[in-house]
Structure 1
Amino acid sequence: MSHHQAQHDPLEEDRKDLHESPRQDDLEIQYHQDESREITKVEDVDFSAYNYTVAENKSLVKKLDRHILPYIWACYLFNALDRNNLSNAKSDGMTTDLNFPNEGYGIMISINNIPWVLCVIPTVMLSRKIGPRFTIPGYMIGWGAMVMINAGVKNFAGTLVTRFLLGVFEAGFAPTLIYYLTGFYTRGELAKRVGVFYSCNALSGAFSGLIAYGVFQMDSKIHGWQILFLIEGAFTVAFAVLAGLMLPWSTQSASFLNEREKEVARLRVLKDSSGTTNVAFNRKTFFSPLKDWRLYVFALIAALYSTAASVAGSFLTQIVGRFGYSVVKTNLYTVAPFVFGAAMMLATATSSDHFRERGFHLVSALTLVFVGCIILVCTPISNHAVGYFAVFLITGGAQTPSVIFHSWHQSNDASEDGRAFKVAFLSTFANSGGFVSANIFLDKWAPAYKNPLAIVAAINGTGIVVVTAFRLYMAWDNRRRNKAQGVNWTSLDVPTEALRAGPKNPLFRYFL
């Protein structure tokens, strides 16, 4: 095949009919013209147009990983550090120094969490409208500045204001990172890449503790917690500038790619991406998923899995505390389960990408949490070995759902606006688990916490049923479409341009 044939435009015949010349060097025009085409018939699908080799694809992905993942990982690590430093600051006397009232620490945490529910959609909409190029570093600079300002506040009220504003800047950050990654990776590559930066959750606690330990030994005129805030905030702002300069914001503007690699990147998007790019923001299409009943099934799933994730993140120390060890030993015994959870998350994400399957991988994670909670409910607190094994199961399953879930719904929407709205809308439900766990893990049920653990088990059991039913529905609908069209297609057999209209298009196939 000649070089010209290898770069044959899949829309060339349509352009000839319109007496237009194809312009493959102009990516934005290419994508806008793609928007106008509707492929609805089996015979319309022509994969010969997406001509690149396995070696070219592999080489491109390696380059993207090297130039994107380290920066994204570090960005999210700073995000996790700035969320976790409150407990370190409290241990150094912040609540006493600022004259917090009774239950003031809990009030501050709640105030910090409110924007995570209220501001996700507006902040992600801003990312969609002006681009992650500005919002990823912008949000980092915003919350880094708030952390530094928090070091200078003089009272409880000042802390509440800074923590609320910090939450506003952080609210849309993780969803924006997910949305950003969909512009570079295919649907079968997304979960593993999302898993890479989510792994920071497990490591941030260890990093935060080490930094705090070093800072609190310093001899200074200001408090140790103030130094901690100043250092972490300053590093966040500095790295935001570095990320803004170093991250590629599109494959076509990436300086580390040659012209052929940019062409392969373009063809990958047309063949098997989560969606087309460079399409102008449209408020109507941004909110259009609200009319789709599937959005609310995903929202229910998000609300169900988030409770377990919150329990592992916020109450693991209390659960391990049922064994009666010292404070130092209890904290030490939380490290291994967190590391195991990170390993399980990356392993599950890798498997999910390899098999191009999300639903049952999500069920497997929920099942680990369910079994772990049941074991703790049924096991006497004196049985440390079995109880500690159950803790591993809980952390092994609790950190995985976010990665698989967001990769799942993003892989089933080829609309740029729709994907941005969904990741924002569904993140609000995924953040709701913190409110549930905070109201069930009460001191009156310590140290066994059997009632809270039974509630978490019931919530996860419900999640298993809902996810399984939804996954089976998707498989049934794919089979129904195959039967009607006389083919045996999966999501891999349908190009991105045929997925834009969603399930309304007869060629649509769910990414299971």
Structure 2
Amino acid sequence: MADYEKRDHVVEDIVDRVEHLGAKEARANFVTPTPEEERRVIRKLDSRLLPLVFFLYMLAVLDRSNLGNAKLAGLTKDINLAGLRYNWLGTVFYIAYILSQWLCMGWKQFKPHYWCAGVVFFWGLIATVQAGVTSWPGLMVCRVFLGIAEACYGPGVPLYLTFFYPREKVGFRHGIFISGAAMANAYGGALAYGITQIKGHLAPWRILFLIEGLPTCFFAILVFFLLPDGVIQAKFLTDREKEVALHFVARNQRLDVGKPQGLRFSEVLEGLRDPKSFIPAFCYFGCNVSYASLPLFVPTIISEMGKFSPATSNGLSAPPYLACFFVIIILCFFSDYFKMRGPFCALAASLGAIGFIIQATCTTTGVRYFGIFLSVQIFASVALLLAWVANIHATESKRAGGYTVLATIGQCGPLLGTNVFPASEKPYYRKGMWISAAFCLLVAVLSGILSCWLIYENRKMEKEGVPEVEEFEDTSIARESGRHEKHRYIW
């Protein structure tokens, strides 16, 4: 505890410079970092932050989506999931998840290492408890609490990462984070394949929940000691590196220097009211209609393609997600490189649409399996949308509002997505495939519309004299002076 209290005062001179000195004095005392110096600090941040958030999100998605694997491992028979009971397990999770999206603001309101450690332990405990349920109502209750717990983690991590990275480089980091979901689904299929081969006193699906739930509780302990609350509190950075980090994080966006925790509610409301918050949210809705159902139904869809065994179907569900992992990384890297979000978001959505159309129109097993490889690429759009919201909103609290809109509207998608593949549609599930393809195309169209809107706004700001790049001193002083309230957008 004492270490965290000391960290708040390690670089008081930096905070004082920003809060109490004028712009001229700040510029006089600060040596502008070189590009190589910035890259060195970013590499240091990457090595400490990205492995943690990646593995935690992988565990989160594993704990939420292993229901599809458990179904093929005997859950349906032991718990009596007749009729629509299985569908309701997915739906009730997302109802709780949606109603709890506003909790993502806890990452800004409270110290992140407290907040994250608590919610990670909570969801790990619930995920593990699922192994002991003996009835459908008991499993329903577990899924509700799991939805609440995971809403406290995943939707807030993109906001947390914006506290550390320049806005033009945050897309790749969001891609690393969100790719944990693709890796979880790939790993989950392979793990489920292995677990179904276990012969013992416990049913395979119970062992599945135990093996995938218990490690999460262990990671909560690591989070408490390893996750920094912000740039100032990052003990692995030197004083100069903290100055450099504050400098590039403040480029074309505002910093809450001196008040790292606590929401500015007027700015939160700005994010909630901004019309530009809603187009990414509806894109996210479309992505989730198309993608959220896949982890629950892909093993079943594959099993119907060639009458594969449940174990083989679980194993075959892994390679498409592994491919998705690499596509996310590649698209997010080039999105940062070219400083564009919309075109890459539309590209991923178009690939997803093609995949669903292939599955809706073809009957050959190999071709339909290839279609799954393309369908899952819609998930790359999610990573790009997370970065796009951060780029649209300049202040930390406004981004919290923007992410709340994104997550609340976007996470309504699974309510539809988890119900578009009813058993009556097997073996081709054509209706669900066409619905998913339509929403992928909607994402592509909306991405184009938002890009055009932001290009138009940038041209207006150029005529108004808004500078293309605002540095650390400009953005910190502007909060009090009112200068440069606008920032150029990344489209």
1:140-289 mapped onto 2 (5 Å cutoff): 140-215=120-195, 220-272=200-252, 275-277=255-257, 278-279=259-260, 280-289=262-271
Are residues 1:366 and 2:349 paired? yes
Corresponding residue to 2:439 among 453, 459, 470: 459
Are residues 1:80 and 2:67 paired? no
Label 1:85 to 1:283 Cα distance change in 2 as closer, same or farther (>3 A).
same
Corresponding residue to 1:56 among 37, 40, 48: 37
Shift of 1:139: 0.7
CA RMSD of aligned residues (A): 3.3
Deviation larger for 257-266 or 279-288: 279-288
2:334 maps to 351
State the identity %. Answer: 27
Shift of 1:363: 1.1
Rg larger for: 1
Q: Deviations over 1:173-232 (max 9, x none)?
A: 112211111111111211111111222222223433444455555565444433433343
| Separation of aligned partners in 2, 1:352 and 1:116 | 29
Shift of 1:289: 2.1
1:308 maps to 290
User: Higher relative contact order at CA 8 Å, sep ≥6: structure 1 or structure 2?
Assistant: 2
Label 1:348 to 1:59 Cα distance change in 2 as closer, same or farther (>3 A).
same
Shift of 1:235: 1.5
Corresponding residue to 1:340 among 323, 340, 361: 323
Label 1:163 to 1:31 Cα distance change in 2 as closer, same or farther (>3 A).
farther
Are residues 1:113 and 2:87 paired? no
Shift of 1:325: 4.6
1:444-455 mapped onto 2 (5 Å cutoff): 444-455=424-435
Shift of 1:361: 1.2
Task: Report the 3-state secondary structure (helix = DSSP H, G, I; strand = E; otherwise coil) of the residue aligned with 2:251.
Answer: helix
Label 1:506 to 1:241 Cα distance change in 2 as closer, same or farther (>3 A).
closer
| Separation of aligned partners in 1, 2:120 and 2:280 | 28
Determine if contact 1:498/1:507 at 8 Å carries over to the other structure: no
| Separation of aligned partners in 2, 1:183 and 1:130 | 14
Label 1:166 to 1:445 Cα distance change in 2 as closer, same or farther (>3 A).
closer
Instruction: Give, as a single letter, the amino acid of the residue that structure 2 aligns with 1:509.
Output: R
| Separation of aligned partners in 1, 2:119 and 2:42 | 27
Are residues 1:433 and 2:413 paired? yes
Shift of 1:399: 1.4
Determine if contact 1:133/1:249 at 8 Å carries over to the other structure: yes
Are residues 1:25 and 2:12 paired? yes
Structure 2 unmatched runs, 5+: 1-9
Task: Report the 3-state secondary structure (helix = DSSP H, G, I; strand = E; otherwise coil) of the residue aligned with 2:133.
Answer: coil
| Separation of aligned partners in 2, 1:100 and 1:387 | 28
Instruction: Give, as a single letter, the amino acid of the residue that structure 2 aligns with 1:466.
Output: L
1:104 maps to 85
Task: Report the 3-state secondary structure (helix = DSSP H, G, I; strand = E; otherwise coil) of the residue aligned with 1:199.
Answer: helix
Are residues 1:297 and 2:284 paired? no
Shift of 1:288: 3.0
Label 1:479 to 1:83 Cα distance change in 2 as closer, same or farther (>3 A).
same
Task: Report the 3-state secondary structure (helix = DSSP H, G, I; strand = E; otherwise coil) of the residue aligned with 1:93.
Answer: helix
Shift of 1:416: 1.7
Q: Deviations over 1:282-336 (max 9, x none)?
A: 3343233232222222322222232222244344345545643523554444333
Label 1:155 to 1:374 Cα distance change in 2 as closer, same or farther (>3 A).
closer
| Separation of aligned partners in 2, 1:190 and 1:61 | 10
Label 1:507 to 1:261 Cα distance change in 2 as closer, same or farther (>3 A).
same
Structure 1 unmatched runs, 5+: 1-22
Instruction: Give, as a single letter, the amino acid of the residue that structure 1 aligns with 2:490.
Output: F
1:17 maps to none
Q: Deviations over 1:114-166 (max 9, x none)?
A: 11100010x22333211322111111100111123333334332222222112
1:410 maps to 390
Q: Deviations over 1:391-435 (max 9, x none)?
A: 332223x11011100100111212221111221221122222222
Determine if contact 2:126/2:146 at 8 Å carries over to the other structure: yes
| Separation of aligned partners in 2, 1:504 and 1:248 | 31
Shift of 1:463: 2.5
Determine if contact 2:288/2:414 at 8 Å carries over to the other structure: yes
Q: Deviations over 1:238-295 (max 9, x none)?
A: 1110122112222222222122111111212222557545353233432332322222
| Separation of aligned partners in 1, 2:392 and 2:455 | 13
Label 1:310 to 1:451 Cα distance change in 2 as closer, same or farther (>3 A).
same
Count of paired positions: 476
Are residues 1:474 and 2:454 paired? yes
Label 1:62 to 1:87 Cα distance change in 2 as closer, same or farther (>3 A).
same
Label 1:350 to 1:33 Cα distance change in 2 as closer, same or farther (>3 A).
farther
